[in-house]
Chain A
Amino acid sequence: QVQLVESGGGLVKPGGSLRLSCSASGFTLSDYYMSWIRQAPGKGLEWVSYMSHSGNTIYYTDSVKGRFSISRDNAKNTLNLQMDSLRAEDTAIYYCVRDRGATGVPAALTYWGQGALVTVSS
């Protein structure tokens, strides 16, 4: 069955870096759009980044542009989020989420990882 497992979260000082990974099983990452969505403590859901199935289309929310980078390792079926120059406001749970398939037909977000907590604090 479909499973997404995030890793790499933790406590980091402002200005530091972290790399989140999302290991996918039960499907092939390169057949789907994949996203990172975050949730700050006590707040709502915010898109951080997504990558199309082909890898040709990548989106970043304005607040992370130039600091975060999404990538995919097809051999390991893993999605990554490299987070540099971290700020206190990046503190959140980061979810790896499977989005629509390669056909582009809109799809609700049925599959979410358990979330990885990133805390940026001195």
Chain B
Amino acid sequence: DIQMTQSPSTLSASVGDRITITCRASQSIGTWLAWYQQKPGKAPKVLISKASSLESGAPSRFSGSGSGTEFTLTISSLQPDDFATYYCQQYNSYRGEFGQGTKVEIK
């Protein structure tokens, strides 16, 4: 199994801040990495696929980078709608593992 480790677990930030979430894989996954946003009571929604490809409808303030074992999700200017929990997921292998999540809270 591939272990996915996200950091931090919780991030307190203000509207307008630039924030970065990191995801590390226990072995190389190329660029088969996705980032999801989940709000309370809702299913996760994919924001980024293939490590850096912005999904249709996702705001351009979201960006992803990385390859191999280290990846980042950046929100360039945090908006009120962005306070949520974010998960990374490797999909290089079947039943691709998720990171444990990063909750972005209002500071």
Contact = CB atoms under 8 A, between A and B. Distances in A.
Interface of A: 33, 35, 44-47, 50, 57, 59, 95, 99-100, 106-110, 112-115
Contact of A112 (B43, B50, B87, B89): B43
B32 A106 contact: yes
Contacts of B98: 44-46
Contacts of B96: 106
Interface residues of B, number: 22
Interface of B: 32, 34, 36, 43-46, 49-50, 55, 87, 89, 91-92, 94-101
A7 B61 CA distance: 36
B44 A106 contact: no
A110 to B, nearest CB: 5
Given A112-B43, A113-B43, A114-B43, A106 B91 contact: yes
A17 B94 CA distance: 27
Contacts of A115: 43
Given A100-B91, A108-B46, 9 more contacts: A44-B98, A45-B87, A50-B94, A59-B94, A108-B89, A108-B91, A109-B91, A112-B44, A112-B45
B99 to A, nearest CB: 8
Contacts of A57: 94
A57 B34 CA distance: 24
Contacts of A35: 95
A100 B49 CA distance: 13
A114 B43 CA distance: 6
B101 A107 contact: no
Contacts of B99: 44
Nearest to B30: A106
Interface centre among A44, A57, A95 (most CB of B within 10 A): A44
B95 A59 contact: yes
B44 A109 contact: yes
B41 to A, nearest CB: 9
Contact of A95 (B43, B50, B91): B43
